[in-house]
Amino acid sequence: MQKEAARGMREGADWAHRYATHEKLKRVANIKFGAGESYAWQLDEAIGLDPGHGDSFWINEETGRIDPPSDEYVEAFCNGATDVWDTVKDKI
**50-82 residue pLDDT tens:** 999 999 999 999 999 999 999 999 999 999 999
pLDDT, tens digit, 9 for 90 and up, residues 26-57: 999 999 999 989 999 999 999 999 999 999 99
Give the count of domains, the chain.
1
Model pTM score: 0.92
| Nearest by Cα to 8 from 61, 66, 58, 59 | 58
Tell whether the model's pLDDT for residue 1 goes beyond 70.
no
- Count CB atoms within 10 A of the CB of residue 69: 19
Q: Which residues contact 81 (CB under 8 A, 6 or more apart)?
A: 12, 13, 15, 16, 20, 25, 28, 29
Expressed as residue numbers, the domain containing 77 is 2-91
Tell whether the model's pLDDT for residue 85 goes beyond 90.
yes
